[in-house]
């Protein structure tokens, strides 16, 4: 293996592989700004790997400043240079409209380029999303007609909101990532583990997201009549037998000082969307005790309930619980909707 001085010399001579390697050496020494500079130099010379790595770091702030707009620029550059990973990520960014203009056709094109570059997740997404005639955005965004479970508060059920394959995809994306779920801390407004909630969960931030997730969020927004920008990060919940989420509300209490500060900064959680991702378990209903109602969907079924009105006034009738499965595991998709754009981090 070449020594540091030799790698540096090759990097300075314009060898993009050496520039990537030299950046790694600089990172090991804690010289991160210099490392970023070499990655950008290699990226602008056409090295897709360097552009992808740099873009991901600028997007997440890992050993780098968090600069999402510049990250998008680097990722688009890497995608144009044939980077499969970069094409897959820019596909998700274009589908969601986060840090790149929202454009489904451009998203599908990028996903196809990623699949052509032999990115397995891109290939699988295309298989799941394609119908007999290929990718048809209009049909992918169709929302089934809801069934009214409660008029006040509004509680709607959607049969077959997602296909079985889409459900399986989401479960597999979440598998291995599940950690103890958290609740809002009454004192700080932040997240904290609690004895009231024993299930697991995971959230998907942009760097971990994909086109299928963007499509799910677009359909949820369409069902609720709320802009996609108002959706928090998508979460997948997992319940082992005996695990539950005790009775609670999803809105933030404006009479609690910490919650009021969060509402002022980030808006109220006005609605909740839950999708059942699997079957084969006993129990596990979503209970609304004040409505004397329990819901248990089949695979792909969903419910939408409004925790607060358009002005953000809470509805205490939305008290609910995630009951424990008595046999088998339960998987759910959980999506909170705010009354103002969510400040993605």
> For residues 268 and 262, is the Cβ–Cβ distance under 8 A?
no
Q: Which pLDDT tens digit goes with each residue over 39-88? A: 999 999 999 999 999 999 999 999 999 999 999 999 999 999 999 999 99
Region label for 189, one of left (φ > 0), alpha (ψ between -120 and 50) or beta (otherwise): left
CA pair distance 59, 37, nearest whole angstrom: 16
- Mean pLDDT for all residues in the chain: 95
pTM: 0.94
> For residues 167 and 300, is the Cβ–Cβ distance under 8 A?
yes
CA pair distance 177, 209, nearest whole angstrom: 13
Q: Which pLDDT tens digit goes with each residue over 246-297? A: 999 999 999 999 999 999 999 999 999 999 999 999 999 999 999 999 999 9
């Amino acid at each position: 293996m070449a020594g540091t001085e030799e790698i540096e010399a090759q990097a300075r001579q314009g060898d993009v592989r050496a520039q990537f390697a030299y950046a790694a050496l600089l990172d090991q020494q804690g010289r991160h700004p210099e490392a970023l500079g070499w990655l950008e130099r290699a990226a602008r010379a056409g090295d897709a790997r360097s552009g992808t790595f740099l873009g991901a770091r600028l997007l997440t702030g890992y050993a780098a400043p968090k600069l999402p707009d510049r990250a998008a620029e680097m990722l688009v550059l890497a995608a144009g240079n044939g980077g499969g990973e970069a094409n897959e990520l820019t596909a998700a960014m274009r589908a969601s409209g986060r840090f790149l203009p929202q454009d489904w056709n451009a998203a599908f094109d990028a996903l196809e380029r990623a699949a052509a570059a032999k990115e397995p997740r891109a290939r699988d997404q295309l298989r799941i999303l394609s119908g007999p005639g290929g990718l048809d955005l209009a049909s992918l965004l169709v929302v089934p007609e809801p069934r009214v479970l409660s008029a006040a508060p509004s509680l709607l059920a959607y049969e077959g909101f997602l296909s079985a394959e889409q459900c399986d995809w989401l479960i597999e994306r979440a598998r291995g990532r599940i950690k103890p779920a958290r609740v809002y801390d009454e004192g700080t407004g932040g997240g904290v583990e609690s004895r009231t909630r024993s299930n697991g969960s995971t959230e998907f931030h942009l760097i971990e997201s994909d086109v299928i997730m963007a499509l799910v969020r677009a359909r949820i927004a369409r069902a609720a009549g709320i802009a996609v920008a108002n959706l928090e990060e998508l979460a997948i919940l997992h319940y082992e037998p005996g695990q539950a989420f005790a009775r609670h509300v999803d809105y933030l209490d404006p009479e609690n000082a910490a919650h009021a500060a969060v509402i002022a900064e980030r808006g109220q959680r006005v609605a909740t969307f839950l999708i059942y991702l699997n079957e084969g378990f006993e129990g596990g209903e979503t209970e609304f005790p004040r409505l004397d109602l329990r819901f248990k969907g089949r695979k792909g079924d969903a419910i939408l309930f409004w925790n607060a009105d358009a002005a953000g006034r809470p509805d205490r009738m939305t008290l609910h619980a995630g009951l424990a499965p008595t046999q088998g595991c339960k998987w759910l998709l959980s999506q909170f909707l705010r009354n103002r754009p969510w400040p993605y981090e």
